Chains A and B, each alone.
Chain A
């Protein structure tokens, strides 16, 4: 019997599966937070989640709206100051995975969360870098989750807020004390990984019922597919149930307060 699920659910569940119990994950707000908590509530109950507000090893019952909701602090092992978080815990080398979202991503997995258009005359001003520029270089590796569309997946980002592999794929070469960078990008259509040589993103797995044409149509460059293209396993009943419960709890919590 096959289960019904949305492409957004497929994305969150696939992103959650990338995390394991042994990981210490610096979690971005939004889709990464949903995926990280889903992992914790399913196959990785002991995954360590850290938010930039200083909350170490947090276990929220509902998804936080911001990176500093009280829920994160109250369910954390401990809460440290923001400079301590970035200096000791991130820069100090204690983070195995940085989990990020983005507004734009390019073929070398560079992320733009700063603006669309020209810096001095922006067409659209976006929030900016936040923690991402240093999460992406100081974490041992980076997972990215973002919805797939031509607006988001561009050949070259308008602005490199956060480096993937640079404009030429070589930004990390010969840089000391830098993480491996993005190792996987999970979208609502597929899984992409950087080519080991060129660092250009390559589709390695298509989600169920998604075609190559769907991905080509939603990507702003001439996207490549792996020779051994896989099909991502469909969500299980348990994964779907836990995700839906989490989202229902979260929506009730954030709309019903006060």
Chain B
């Protein structure tokens, strides 16, 4: 059964230096509160996995938490670059960052294979792309039945997956609604999982086919209201698109980034 912990306890107990960590949420329900707690606890040498690193990994990378990034699209959606990610890749600041990049289709399949307990994912992908030349984790295999050449990538099996969801009930069952992204697969693919939620309620209010993670499939739950901001939680608050635009200016410069981090992460305690 999922254990109810404070966010501070959950991160302290379940995320270790050197771990492989997936923090998912496809634009929606990005676990920013948990990311900030990881920064405050100064976790180091993490291998971060995420389809779209988004601002949350820009912040973790700029804060020096990451040694490696596995991803498929590293931009600020609709705005431009992730400047902290670029600074780490182009200039090695604040430390050198190893990158391993995929396409969305391959990463989605790799998470799904991880959830299914398989060692690899197979897809009709990467035809004609240079990505297999720079990522040795992309191979091609021949279909044993048709002979078709297909791409293969290893499944994603994180030490820890962190997601944010709308709510949990008092037994620890979790409901995810709206753009459900890859969160269910990411939780099931991981050895341990932390789910932050907007609120803990008596009745989940889930429809019969809703995306529900049973309590026994989750390791820890922490209540973190507004825990996805500046991303959003359908039914609770909208995406703060103005902040996504402002981030371009904040993150472009190392000093303004560090000042932002001090004021908005280090000097703000966990919820």
User: What is the interface of chain A, defined by CB distance below 8 A to chain B?
Assistant: 29-30, 52-55, 64-70, 72-74, 79-83, 85-87, 90-91, 110, 114, 119, 122, 124-134, 137-138, 159-163, 166, 171-172, 175-178, 253-258
Contact = CB atoms under 8 A, between A and B. Distances in A.
B109 A83 contact: yes
A171 B222 CA distance: 50
B205 interface: no
Contact of A159 (B125, B127, B130, B242): B130
Contact of B125 (A69, A133, A161): A133
Interface stretch (B4-12, B69-77, B158-166, B213-221): B69-77
A130 B179 contact: no
Q: Which range holds the interface residue count of chain B? A: 35 or more
Contact of A83 (B134, B179, B185): B185
A65 B77 contact: yes
A66 B79 CA distance: 9
A123 B136 CA distance: 22
Q: Which 9 A-B pairs have the closest CB atoms?
A: A68-B27, A163-B128, A127-B75, A66-B77, A130-B73, A65-B78, A134-B105, A171-B128, A83-B108
30 contacts: A53-B26, A54-B26, A65-B79, A65-B239, A69-B241, A73-B28, A73-B234, A79-B180, A83-B109, A83-B182, A87-B108, A91-B105, A125-B90, A127-B81, A127-B82, A128-B75, A129-B129, A130-B72, A131-B73, A133-B105, A133-B131, A134-B104, A134-B106, A134-B126, A159-B130, A162-B129, A172-B127, A172-B128, A257-B242, A258-B240
A138 B104 CA distance: 13
A214 B45 CA distance: 51
Contacts of A30: 78
Interface of B: 26-28, 51-52, 71-75, 77-79, 81-82, 85-86, 89-90, 101-106, 108-109, 111-112, 123-131, 134, 148, 178-182, 184-185, 211, 232, 234, 238-242, 244-245
Contacts of B108: 82-83, 85-87
Contacts of A81: 180-182, 184-185, 211
A82 B27 contact: no
Main DSSP-derived SS at the A contact region: loop
A68 B24 CA distance: 13
B148 A177 contact: yes
Nearest to A112: B130
Nearest to B87: A125
Contacts of B148: 176-177
A131 B180 contact: no
A53 to B, nearest CB: 5
A137 B128 contact: yes
Contacts of B131: 114, 129, 133, 161
Nearest to B24: A82
Contacts of B52: 130
A258 B238 contact: yes
Given A86-B109, A87-B109, A254-B242, A129 B124 contact: no
Contact of B238 (A162, A178, A257): A257
Contact of B26 (A68, A119, A125, A160): A68
A1 to B, nearest CB: 36
Contacts of B238: 70, 257-258
Nearest to B243: A258
Given A87-B109, A138-B124, A178-B127, A55 B179 contact: yes
Given A67-B77, A82-B104, A128-B74, A161 B130 contact: yes
B103 A73 contact: no
Given A67-B27, A131-B104, A79 B129 contact: no
Nearest to A137: B127
B53 to A, nearest CB: 9
Contact of B181 (A53, A87, A131, A253): A53
A133 B51 contact: no
B105 A68 contact: no
Contacts of A126: 75, 81
